[in-house]
Amino acid sequence: MEVLNNLAFGFSHALTWHNLMYCAIGCTVGTLVGLLPGLGPLATISLLLPLTYSIPTTGALIMLAGIYYGAQYGDSVSAITMKIPHASSIVACIDGYAMTLKGQTGLALFTAGFSSFIGGTVSILVLSFLAPVLGEVAFLFGPADYVAMMLVGFVCVSFVTTGSLLNGLAMCMIGVLLGTIGTDVNSGMARFTMDMPFLTDGVGIVSIALGCFGIAEITKNLDSREERSPFNGKIHLIPTWAEFKRIIPSALRGSVIGSFLGILPGGGPTIAQFAAYALDKKVSKYKHEIGTGCIEGVAGQAAADEAAARTSFIPLMSIGIPENAVMALMLAAFIIKGIQPGPNMIASHPELFWGLVASMWIGNVFLLVLNVPLVRYWLSVFKIPYSVLFPSILFFCCIGTYSVNNNLDDVFITAAFGFMGYMFMRLELDAAPLMLGFILGPMLEENFRRAMLLSRGSFGTFVSRPISGTLLGLIGIFVLWQVVSFVLQARKKIVIAPPVALEPQE
């Protein structure tokens, strides 16, 4: 009852007309930001942060939060319709774009919006009931535990890849190697930069995502001899009851995974989407269809994306530790307003904490009401001739890449990855495992070094800690099970030829 009273107290603050206005502005701006290639919530919040000086405290934080979780849905629109993802919508390109090629774009967009609503609702319940307790979960994880969790992420390659497992692992290792480019954090030495100054900061994830997915897909379409026809078929927007029964379980699974990974530093929407997709490919009733344009492939990752975006506020507001760059900017916004997030924030500023939590559910409803009717307008992109559409997409890709660091070299790096992505497509290699390796590789290296320093070079720390030991044990069981399954399948394919009778010689 106490939580319900606190939520009612929060809604009394969030439902004021000016806070509703700031929530609507944040969700709308976030959706539009998500649609533009390369321009994510990080750059937008950075630009709008000075405006918070002239906006009331609760309204300013509600608006910035709306930009963050509103961009998560906008990301999926560009990924599904044009295969141009942000970091949090890479997995949406797999089944979402495959549904677009089948003429089911409306269904894919509705599924993403509805699943995002489910993910947001579940995560808000988690945020309301368990925020004070779950904030302490992050303290239980040490560097060795994060190493084990990153290795679990690499195990997801076998489920994320749409090709063979060997090709998926190879692409993942390429991503890990790309993640090592730049300046070593410990020694300060440049690694694999080939004496090129613009590589000292490493390769940006925006350049890889836009290049390997967006520009590569454009190049593939231009290379094809088939004429791209505008979308003129019947719009399948509202799912049938049978399709709803497929969406809801997948969305609930993704909501649980996203809510958990959003709490952990280093997790967040990017990791949550891969984990949710891997779980769906393992336990879904329609797991054999995932990867070919399946509803579950869109629902689970969209729910995990939204859930992780909201629960990432738990470590920020409960223990004062931001888990990613966007949360670091939110921390700056709190400090600008003279508020120090931490264990005493709920008691010291209850109207701000519960008002922000309540506004997330209001923004969740607003995003559903705003974006579902706009699906028909998103489909109008198919009415544009491709000879006009692809230069516009390239223009926004270049603008989005340039706006991240205001560096022209990033545009050339994106073009290079576009050529690389096109070659991957011609070789029938999936780029999703490459993105997973690029994201997890630097985090794995950082936490591995930290764990070895704390243990004075002893590898026993990875098995002596309960969390890391359990995760490594599960990985070992999974690898052993995969090997046994491979051997059994290989034995079934062996055909023993019947003995040939020898004819008597005359």
Q: pLDDT of 421-470, one tens digit each?
A: 889 888 888 787 887 788 788 888 888 998 998 888 888 888 888 888 88
Cα distance between residue 27 and residue 367, in whole Å: 7
Q: What is the pLDDT of residue 229?
A: 46
- Sequence-distant (≥ 6) Cβ neighbours of residue 164 within 8 angstroms: none
Please report which confidence band the pLDDT of residue 224 belongs to, taking 50, 70 and 90 as the band edges: low
CA distance 67 to 130: 24
183 φ, ψ (degrees, to nearest 5): -95, 130
The pair of three-digit structure tokens given for residue 158, joined into one six-digit string: 């076998």
In the chain, pLDDT over 90 holds for what percent of residues?
2
In angstroms, the Cα distances linking 393 to 96, 214, 251, 396, 422 are 18, 8, 30, 5, 16
Q: How confident is the model at residue 40 (pLDDT cuts 50, 70, 90)?
A: low
The distance of Cα 236 from the centroid of its chain, to the nearest Å, equals: 26
pTM of the model: 0.74
pLDDT tens digits along 240-273: 888 888 889 999 999 998 888 887 765 677 778 8
Residue 61 pLDDT more than 70? yes
State how far the Cα of 83 lies from the Cα of 73, in Å rounded to an integer: 14
Does residue 357 contact residue 363 with C-beta atoms inside 8 Å? no
CB 298 within 8 A of CB 80: yes
Q: Please give the pLDDT value at position 7.
A: 83
Residue tagged 């509703």 (tokens)? 20
